[in-house]
Amino acid sequence: MAGIKALVGLSFSGAIGLTFLLLGCALEQYGVYWPLFVIIFYVLSPIPTFISRRLSDDTDSSSNACRELAYFLTTGIVVSAFGLPVILARKTTIAWGACGLVMTGNAVIFLTIFGFFVVFGGGDDFSWEQW
């Protein structure tokens, strides 16, 4: 039952993050849908971690190269997701208010993705492998 509550909480926070993203695009004073390209980064960010957990051994407690490379790639994807709205705002493609809403949405979504790995990433009863 604890896994279901965590899943509902994570889906609620993901919906809040997407609401901020859509507000940054659809409000009348902004009205430009270029910030929706950060959804690509939302999809790409967990992929290196999923692959490294599949390929690496959890038997040794020290870090391995596969997992470190996955963390590096994930960090690059997350930084790119925060950088894209800033670049779009500096080039006056979007307004700075839209940039702020997209950045808030980014923070909420990436914290939700991190929460998913914390809740379902361990080798306990609830694991991301069952989903």
Measured N-to-C along each axis, helices 47-55 and 65-90 cross at an angle, to the nearest 10 degrees, of 180
Range of the domain at 85: 2-130
Q: What is the pLDDT of residue 59?
A: 58
Q: What percent helix, strand, coil does the chain show, rounded to 5?
A: 75, 0, 25
Q: What is the pLDDT of residue 53?
A: 83
Q: What is the pLDDT of residue 69?
A: 92
Map residue 64 onto helix, strand or coil: coil
pLDDT in tens, the chain (131 residues): 667 888 899 999 999 999 999 999 999 999 899 999 999 999 999 999 889 888 876 655 666 888 899 999 999 999 999 999 999 999 999 999 999 999 999 999 999 999 998 888 765 454 555 55
Alpha-carbon span 62 to 111, nearest angstrom: 25
Lookup: tokens for 108: 């909420």
> Global pTM?
0.85
Alpha-carbon span 128 to 60, nearest angstrom: 21
Q: Which residues of 74-88 are buried (b: 16+ CB within 10 A; e: fewer)?
A: beebbeebeebbeeb
The domain total for the chain is 1
Q: What is the pLDDT of residue 83?
A: 96
